[in-house]
Amino acid sequence: TPSWGELLQQGWANMDAWWIVGSVIIAMVVTLVTVTFTGEAVREAFDPKLHTTYE
């Protein structure tokens, strides 16, 4: 399986081939956004401050 470093190295070696660089950037952005939204959803689901009311 390809690693992130391998993909980046191929992207730098082929700077004239924009689709290789672009595909690496898109893959990294999609992965980071997915992890961020998943983490926020888990945090929000298990946040006790949202479900606790003090009277």
pLDDT at 31: 96
Joined tokens for residue 30: 């999609």
pLDDT at 19: 78
pLDDT in tens, 12-39: 777 777 777 788 789 999 999 999 999 9
Q: CA 47 to CA 49: how far, in whole Å?
A: 6
> Is the pLDDT reported for residue 50 higher than 80?
no
The single-letter code of the amino acid at 34 is: T
Mean pLDDT score of the chain, rounded to an integer?
Answer: 82
pLDDT at 3: 83
pLDDT at 51: 67
Q: Residue 8 is inside which H or E element, if any? A: helix 4-13
